[in-house]
Homo-oligomer: A and B are copies of this chain.
Amino acid sequence: MKTTVQDVARRAGVSAGTVSNALTGKRHVAEATHRRILDAMEELGYQPNLMARGLVNQRSHVLSIVIKEFSDLGYYGYSSVLTGIQRKANQLGYSIMLHFVDGPSEEEIFATLNQVSAHRADGVLWVIHEIEGNRNWVRDIHPEKYPPIVFLHMHPDPALSVVSIDNQAGANMAVSHLIEQGCRTIGIITGPLDWWESQARLAGWKNALQQAGLDADSSLVVEGDWLADSGKTGMETLLDRRPDLDAVFASNDRMALGALHTARRRGLSIPEDLLLVGYDNTPEGASYWPPLTSVRQGLLQSGQIAVEDLHQRIESEINEQTAPRQHIIQPELIIRQSSMRSR
């Protein structure tokens, strides 16, 4: 825990520089001395001090992940992204530091950004979903003051590095599928409408309906908050407003679960009376009754891509700025019984 290169050097009867060379492999050391050094390190239980190394290398090999604090980690989506990030980061030799932002205040955002750059992280992964206006700070930023940043889950922006899922396409797939099943009156339970992703999914719903010449009236739209309870009440509202309702697209699986609950409570059978599709393809969805059709997002992949992009950016930053890149990932529809017309 506290033995140094010097200690190892003394033990092996060489100089500190040689030990360093043996460690990094940047310059050749003789086979014999190399072995002596390795032995010495082993005996002394040497661990390199990454802070010292980072100090001289001007490179911490740390990636900072910024996430919205709280139960967010419990969302299937976030954890998938984190897993993807971790895998690729590990593969590329980065360690991961976790930062949490609680509220929407720019003050707090800059505080964590400062913390990030105080740690001299090599790069930042911004895993906070875009909500109306919560990206404005990006404009005010002094780019050279902070390490390169890649944004996940936000509206593509040519000025920024962004990795996103094509939410509109995903919703479109879901709704088109319902139309193919013969549905004519398809309601939607959205996420909070100040979220970019909610808006995009709503747009996909609308788009699919209009393409098919179907009703996309606002009476078919109910705003939820991602939680199951809002799926319950959303379904209530929809059923009350539109007795002719024959399908519902819930903007995530949790709300779909709530919708299922309400349908059941009201004596409605799914898929006999009503078809239902969710979004996220959480593992539990396959065990709902009936098993839930849902949209798989490819979040794990998005995490990996984000790290790759960031890595390139870090490496090339030494020479010159790389142009930001936009990565849009296509989702996939997983069809289960909740949307299968049983006829």
Contacts and interface: CB of A to CB of B under 8 A. Distances in A.
A100 B95 contact: no
A83 B73 contact: yes
A71 B60 contact: no
Given A51-B55, A83-B71, A258-B287, A97 B100 contact: no
A59 to B, nearest CB: 10
Given A1-B146, A96-B98, A145-B1, A261 B284 contact: no
Interface in A238-271: 254, 257-258, 260-261, 264-265
Contact of A79 (B79, B80, B142): B79
B227 A283 contact: yes
- Decide if the interface of chain A is mainly helix, strand, loop or mixed: helix
Interface string A59-77: 0101001000111011010
A115 interface: yes
Nearest to A119: B50
A144 B142 CA distance: 43
Q: A47, A254, A260, A288 — which one has the most chain B CB atoms within 10 A of its CB?
A: A47
Contact of A48 (B96, B100, B118, B260): B118
Nearest to A146: B1
Contacts of A79: 71, 73-74, 79
B60 A51 contact: yes
Contacts of A147: 1
Interface string A77-111: 01110110011001000011111100000000000
A144 B45 CA distance: 10
Interface string A219-233: 000000001110110
A13 interface: no
A169 B287 CA distance: 29
A49 B45 contact: no
A117 interface: yes
Interface string A277-295: 0000001101111000000
Contacts of A49: 55, 118, 120
A149 to B, nearest CB: 13
Interface of A: 1, 45, 47-52, 54-55, 60, 62, 65, 69-71, 73-74, 76, 78-80, 82-83, 86-87, 90, 95-100, 114-115, 117-120, 142, 144-147, 227-229, 231-232, 254, 257-258, 260-261, 264-265, 283-284, 286-289
Given A45-B142, A90-B100, 13 more contacts: A1-B144, A1-B145, A1-B146, A49-B55, A51-B52, A73-B79, A74-B283, A86-B98, A95-B115, A229-B287, A232-B287, A254-B284, A258-B287
